[in-house]
């Protein structure tokens, strides 16, 4: 009987822990900060398509519509499955004028998401638009950056991403909303899902590296550093004189990715794991010519920063911006816009 009671008590504790993990209301500061940075990244990375918009997204550009449709039909084994896997409104645009109108409208959506203007609506539109861009260029020009962009936009839809650091917040204050933003279950769910997704990305990235001989032999970092295509701000070929450092950096990267999903949760090890994330991804920014990918991964890692820490860093800046937006008459309430 005591054994049955113990099992029942353990099951109840597990159930309570599950509910606490997913459904504890949390301050939406972290989710709102992610919205600002993710919106900025979405705006910038889609703005650069403007330099050759017709070349990439036109029906007869570098990636012709018919070629991409046939390719996806071949890869997915049928017309129906190809249509489901490769939805994009760009396949229905045949006029250069319409293409530019749709492109500019998308940029406005990303910008409005960044500043928090009708945030929840913009988050939904931003996700659909980002997916449409990504599907149109898959697999010809589809990379990790596009995947993380879509991932961040997807989770922003699930919670009150405009509760802080937004024009929506300033307007709510002007209409008499409480100065303190209430905790939100939706914000917690969105952050938890994003956290788990980031853990899965790093785990499978590490497992993928284990299939490569260069990662086992310890020279994969050198292979990237010696590649002229990856050299950006710093010439990393000086590593050739330090083979042991190359070995250490290679194996440390694999170890960090494989253990990220376990060590990022305890409070004792989380700061070290996130510090390593900053070093790895800033290294990608500085040394390997992929600044947008390195920065977007850091935006994803922001999900593991507590709302209290985010508010300590962001609130002073947000309050100054809110004062500028609100003007002299609304300074009292605008100071609480963060």
Q: Using alpha carbons only, what angle is made at residue 168 by residues 179 and 187, rounded to the nearest 5 degrees?
A: 75
Comparing 232 with 277, the larger pLDDT belongs to: 277
Does residue 151 sit in the same domain as residue 200? Answer: no
- The domain boundary, picked from 108, 142, 159, lies at 159
Residue 7 has pLDDT above 70, yes or no: yes
Q: Look at 3-17, 37-51, 89-103, 322-336 and tell me which has the smallest mean pLDDT.
A: 322-336
Q: How many domains does the chain have?
A: 2
Given this model, what pLDDT does residue 250 score?
94
Does residue 147 sit in the same domain as residue 264? Answer: no
Does residue 83 sit in the same domain as residue 136? Answer: yes
Does residue 232 sit in the same domain as residue 151? Answer: no
Render pLDDT for 137-151 as a digit per residue (tens, 0 to 9).
876 666 889 999 999
Q: Look at 143-147, 154-158, 194-198, 255-259 and tell me which has the smallest mean pLDDT.
A: 143-147
Render pLDDT for 211-227 as a digit per residue (tens, 0 to 9).
989 999 999 988 888 87
Average pLDDT, the chain: 88
Does residue 68 sit in the same domain as residue 128? Answer: yes
The CA-atom distances, in angstroms, between 247 and each of 163, 214, 223, 253 are 46, 10, 12, 10
- The domain boundary, picked from 113, 142, 159, lies at 159
pTM of the model: 0.89
- Other Cβ atoms less than 10 A from the Cβ of 290: the count is 19
Does residue 135 sit in the same domain as residue 208? Answer: no
The CA-atom distances, in angstroms, between 80 and each of 60, 64, 70 are 23, 20, 12
Given this model, what pLDDT does residue 75 score?
65
Does residue 235 sit in the same domain as residue 198? Answer: yes
Q: At what angle do helices 119-137 and 96-115 cross, to 10 degrees?
A: 140
The alpha carbon torsion through 48, 194, 256, 212 (nearest 10 deg) reads: -60
Nearest to 126 by CA among 42, 6, 4: 42
Residue 171 lies in a domain: no
- Other Cβ atoms less than 10 A from the Cβ of 90: the count is 19
Residue 297 lies in a domain: no
Does residue 121 sit in the same domain as residue 194? Answer: no
Residue 88 lies in a domain: yes
Locus of tokens 């990022």: 264
Residue 225 lies in a domain: yes
Residue 334 lies in a domain: no
Q: 166 exposed, middle or buried (CB, 10 Å; 0-12, 13-18, 19+)?
A: buried
Whole-number Å distance between alpha carbons of 68 and 133: 13
Comparing 92 with 83, the larger pLDDT belongs to: 92
Q: At what angle do helices 185-209 and 243-263 cross, to 10 degrees?
A: 140
Does residue 153 sit in the same domain as residue 218? Answer: no
Render pLDDT for 284-313 as a digit per residue (tens, 0 to 9).
888 887 889 999 999 999 999 999 999 999
Given this model, what pLDDT does residue 329 score?
47
Residue 311 lies in a domain: no
Does residue 145 sit in the same domain as residue 42? Answer: yes
Residue 95 lies in a domain: yes
Render pLDDT for 162-177 as a digit per residue (tens, 0 to 9).
999 999 999 998 888 8
**Segments forming the whole domain that contains residue 274:** 187-289
Given this model, what pLDDT does residue 286 score?
84
Given this model, what pLDDT does residue 140 score?
62
Does residue 192 sit in the same domain as residue 154? Answer: no
Given this model, what pLDDT does residue 238 score?
87
Does residue 138 sit in the same domain as residue 234? Answer: no
- The pLDDT-based confidence of 157 (bands split at 50, 70, 90) is very high
Residue 179 lies in a domain: no
């Amino acid at each position: 009987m005591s054994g049955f009671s113990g099992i029942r008590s353990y099951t109840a504790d597990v159930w309570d822990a599950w509910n606490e993990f997913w459904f504890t209301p949390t301050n939406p500061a972290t989710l709102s900060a992610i919205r600002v940075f993710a919106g900025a990244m979405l705006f910038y990375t889609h703005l650069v398509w403007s330099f050759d918009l017709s070349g990439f997204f036109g029906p007869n550009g570098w990636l012709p519509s018919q070629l991409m449709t046939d390719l996806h039909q071949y890869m997915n084994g049928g017309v129906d499955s190809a249509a489901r896997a490769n939805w994009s409104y760009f396949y229905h645009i045949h006029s250069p004028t319409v293409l530019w109108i749709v492109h500019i409208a998308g940029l406005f959506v990303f910008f409005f998401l960044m500043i928090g203007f009708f945030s929840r609506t913009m988050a939904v539109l931003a996700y659909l638009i980002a997916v449409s861009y990504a599907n149109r260029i898959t697999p010809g020009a589809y990379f990790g950056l596009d995947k993380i962009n879509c991932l961040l936009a997807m989770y922003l839809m699930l919670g009150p991403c405009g509760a802080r650091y937004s024009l929506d917040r300033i307007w709510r204050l002007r209409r008499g909303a409480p100065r303190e933003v209430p905790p939100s279950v939706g914000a917690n769910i969105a952050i938890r899902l994003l956290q788990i997704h980031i853990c899965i990305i790093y785990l499978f990235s590490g497992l993928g590296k284990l299939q490569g001989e260069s990662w086992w032999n310890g020279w994969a970092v050198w292979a990237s550093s010696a590649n002229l295509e990856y050299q950006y701000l710093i010439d990393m070929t000086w590593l050739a004189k330090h083979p042991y450092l190359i070995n250490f950096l290679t194996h440390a990267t694999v170890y960090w990715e494989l253990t990220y999903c376990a060590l990022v949760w305890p409070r004792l090890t989380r700061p070290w794991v996130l510090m390593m994330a900053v070093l790895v991804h800033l290294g990608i920014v500085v040394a390997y010519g992929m600044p947008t990918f390195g920065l977007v991964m850091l935006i994803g890692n922001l999900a593991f920063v507590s709302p209290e820490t985010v508010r300590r860093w962001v609130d002073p800046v947000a309050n100054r911006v809110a004062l500028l937006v609100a003007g002299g008459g609304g300074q009292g309430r605008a100071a609480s816009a963060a």
